Chain A
């Protein structure tokens, strides 16, 4: 029996995982940086 696979399904899945992962990493790192710098500014004012 021969299995027929649509290659493009695998391409979409790989791109989705890599792009979502990369964008989530960049967004999370940027948000963490902004939050930490805000905490530093607040500690300066306290």
Chain B
């Protein structure tokens, strides 16, 4: 793992992966959505609105998966001081927040025809909203720390502490009464009919590839900005030194 700690080595790999992940993600997502759209019949209870599953579940998965990645990167940063860990956590935050928002928005739209309401303050919906607020707080904190050039260890602690919300979201439909259905997919088991399940898994794969491409692109942007800033600072210091030397002479 430490072999990839070198930003130059990482950039070489990221250059290879960014475009294939973005383009591959777009193609797989488009194909999977078309597959689900054309092959999935209306559900007995939910009718045609069951098609929302193909965008809602990948968004939920990536919203929660994003914070899990932030927590792992934060742990790696705090324990091993891996130089890319803080950058990767920062790069995951924005796409994670976007997918958490898309999960809430698509869930709310799905709730209106199936539950008769846009929103209820139950465990699942509220804990997902808390996750979105955690993302927004994390983004504000990391931006402020980067602007001031402070240590990213505070953000790493925030990332680890916030991870407590992920199992709460996952178990909320088991622990509390909820309008939301209980877990449909668990380890090695699925209550979803294969006619929905396979296109759904393809959608999850497509959106995940896109997520990976976005994270690589954002890591490259953060690294490029840091390198440009460091180079300009070095040049300014050199110019200042040369001016001072000329003044002394």
Interface residues of A (CB under 8 A from B): 3, 5, 7-8, 10-11, 13-15, 17-19, 21-22, 25-26, 29-30, 32-33, 35-37, 39-40, 42-44, 46
Contact = CB atoms under 8 A, between A and B. Distances in A.
Interface residues of A, dominant DSSP: helix
Contacts of A5: 112-113
A17 B218 contact: no
B151 interface: no
B52 A14 contact: yes
Contacts of B231: 40, 43-44
Given A29-B221, A33-B224, A46 B59 contact: no
Interface stretch (B142-150, B167-175, B188-196, B206-214): B206-214
B55 A18 contact: yes
Interface residues of B, number: 44
Interface string B41-73: 010001111011001100100000000000000
Given A11-B48, A11-B52, A30-B217, A39 B98 contact: no
B113 A43 contact: no
Contact of A11 (B29, B51, B102, B221): B51
Nearest to A39: B228
